[in-house]
Amino acid sequence: MKHVRVRAALTASIPALASALLLSSCSLVGSGDEPRATESPAPSDGTGEGAETGGPVVLATHESFHLPKKLVKAFEAETGYDLEVRAAGDAGTLATKLSLTADNPIADAAFGIDNTFASRPLGEGAFAEVTTTATPPEEYALPEGGDRLVPIDSANVCVNVDTTWFEQEGLEPPRTLEDLADEQYADLLVTPGASTSSPGMAFFLATVAAFGDDWPDYWTDLLDNGAKVVDGWEDAYYGDFTAGSDNGTRPIVVSYDSSPAFTVDGGESTTAALLDTCFRQVEYAGVLAGADNPEGAAALVDWMLSDEVQSALPESMYVFPVMPGATVPEDWAAFAPQPSDPYEVDPADVDANREQWLTEWTDVISR
């Protein structure tokens, strides 16, 4: 069955991490018809323990933020804060806005800054220190700024293959990034662009991590082998990928490690993620420095680490929770294994080199 990825942004986009995964039209707080609680919540100190209500708590996020209404209502009832969500574009746009408004924050808290963009708003002083009652595993922490940005979810951008197509053609699927440049896979790969898409940027960063300064040569080999570059993830997955479109002609696509959980047919997935090609994206939340409601913002960040919210993330935003107490759907456990050693690039290196890399990348694909 087809899946609709609401996220985008490790996925969000990166425009540099993309002016896109084109996260521009998603619901903000889920759906549901549960009645709003009519009782006034107990006085609260903003952490659910009760002192006077602090009014609204404003969350700046990317446009793919989505959680079930019943969870949002529970947060509001337990803390006394009304959650107001302000979508600020894709992940890259969000990071830029937070950086430019560090002295005059646009919200109380922010969610959706990922490991490829974190260094800029941190460097601009956009986030304040925050303490949470739960502690995410250290593996998701930023090298710098871990006292200000709290990991909430993770996702891996991976090359996916249409296993049914390869079986029908009697061809072994590729396994590694190097394989994609092999002539037996000529004209079979489609990827969203690094300058226009979050997963496209993540795939590009995987090649930087794998090939170092030789990444331009690798991309030249990919393009010489017929790789197709399109604007966004939806263009690639639902336009060119054989498992995503009846008109697709390419059985290899850049997508996510969770994607095969959405292509299950007859108890088996018709696609697979190549776990040796993945780049890990982690999304963070934090309290904005100078926030009007820092207590509410801290309560909101803490709430996003709760078992209830963490367990809702897979089906709400198609990402993996970071907290070990969370649950994931059975299909994810069966068909969406995570890579044990994904590629990573230090956020500071991304920040320092992003524009130069993208300029060089654009030159390579334009030849």
The range of the structural domain enclosing residue 76 comes to: 14-154+281-330
Residue 2 in any domain: the answer is no
Q: What percent of the chain has pLDDT over 70?
A: 85
Which H or E element spans position 205? helix 198-211
Contact at 8 Å (CB) between 232 and 20? yes
Is the domain of 348 the same as that of 222?
Answer: yes
Q: For 58-63, what is the mean pLDDT? A: 92
Q: Is the pLDDT of residue 34 over 90?
A: no
Lowest mean pLDDT among 41-50, 79-88, 227-236, 295-304: 41-50
Contact at 8 Å (CB) between 50 and 43? yes
Residue 133 in any domain: the answer is yes
Residue 367 in any domain: the answer is no
Which tokens go with 272? 């697979």
Contact at 8 Å (CB) between 107 and 4? no
Q: Could you write out the DSSP letters of every residue in 184-200?
A: GGTT-EEEE-TTT-HHH
Is the domain of 215 the same as that of 83?
Answer: no
Is the domain of 19 the same as that of 91?
Answer: yes
Q: What is the pLDDT of residue 17?
A: 32
Residue 9 in any domain: the answer is no
Q: Vertex 13, ends 276 and 251: CA angle to 5°?
A: 45
Residue 104 in any domain: the answer is yes
pLDDT top residue among 46 and 101: 101
Cα–Cα distance measured from residue 95 to residue 283, given in angstroms and rounded to the nearest whole number: 12
CA 85 to chain centre: 18
Q: Is the pLDDT of residue 50 over 70?
A: no
Query: pLDDT, tens digit, for every residue of 258-276?
Result: 999 999 998 999 999 999 9
Is the domain of 148 the same as that of 105?
Answer: yes
Q: For 268-291, what is the mean pLDDT? A: 96
Q: What is the pLDDT of residue 250?
A: 98
Q: For 138-164, what is the mean pLDDT? A: 95
Which tokens go with 270? 């018709």
Q: For 337-344, what is the mean pLDDT? A: 94
Is the domain of 149 the same as that of 218?
Answer: no
Q: Is the pLDDT of residue 367 over 70?
A: yes
Q: Is the pLDDT of residue 243 over 80?
A: yes
The predicted model scores a pTM of 0.76
Is the domain of 246 the same as that of 307?
Answer: no
Cα–Cα distance measured from residue 4 to residue 46, given in angstroms and rounded to the nearest whole number: 35
Domain count along the chain: 2
Cα–Cα distance measured from residue 194 to residue 271, given in angstroms and rounded to the nearest whole number: 23
Provide the pLDDT confidence category of residue 54 given band limits of 50, 70 and 90.
low
Query: pLDDT, tens digit, for every residue of 153-207?
Result: 999 999 999 999 999 999 999 999 999 999 999 999 999 999 888 789 999 999 9
According to DSSP, the β-strands at 56-61 and 82-87 are parallel
Cα–Cα distance measured from residue 256 to residue 317, given in angstroms and rounded to the nearest whole number: 12
Q: For 100-117, what is the mean pLDDT? A: 94
Residue 8 in any domain: the answer is no
**Domain CATH code at residue 228:** 3.40.190.10
* CA 112 to each of CA 107, 165, 199, 250: distance values in angstroms, whole numbers, following the listed order: 13, 35, 14, 31
Is the domain of 65 the same as that of 199?
Answer: no
Sign of CA dihedral 300, 304, 305, 309: positive
Cα–Cα distance measured from residue 283 to residue 267, given in angstroms and rounded to the nearest whole number: 31
Provide the pLDDT confidence category of residue 29 given band limits of 50, 70 and 90.
very low
Residue 106 in any domain: the answer is yes
Average pLDDT, the chain: 86
Q: Is 284 exposed, middle or buried (0-12, 13-18, 19+ CB in 10 A)?
A: buried
Is the domain of 26 the same as that of 128?
Answer: yes
Contact at 8 Å (CB) between 9 and 117? no
For residue 9, give the 3-state DSSP assignment: coil
Lowest mean pLDDT among 7-16, 92-101, 116-125, 346-355: 7-16
Count of positions (residues) in the chain: 367
215-221: which pairs have CB atoms within 8 A and are 24 or more residues apart? 216/360, 216/361, 216/364, 218/177, 218/181, 219/361, 219/364, 219/365, 220/364, 220/367, 221/181
Lowest mean pLDDT among 30-34, 250-254, 281-285, 309-313: 30-34
Is the domain of 150 the same as that of 253?
Answer: no
Q: Is the pLDDT of residue 239 over 90?
A: yes
Residue 4 in any domain: the answer is no
Is the domain of 148 the same as that of 175?
Answer: no
Q: For 332-349, what is the mean pLDDT? A: 91
For residue 282, give the 3-state DSSP assignment: strand
Is the domain of 251 the same as that of 265?
Answer: yes
Is the domain of 129 the same as that of 188?
Answer: no
Q: For 114-137, what is the mean pLDDT? A: 93
Q: For 273-297, what is the mean pLDDT? A: 97
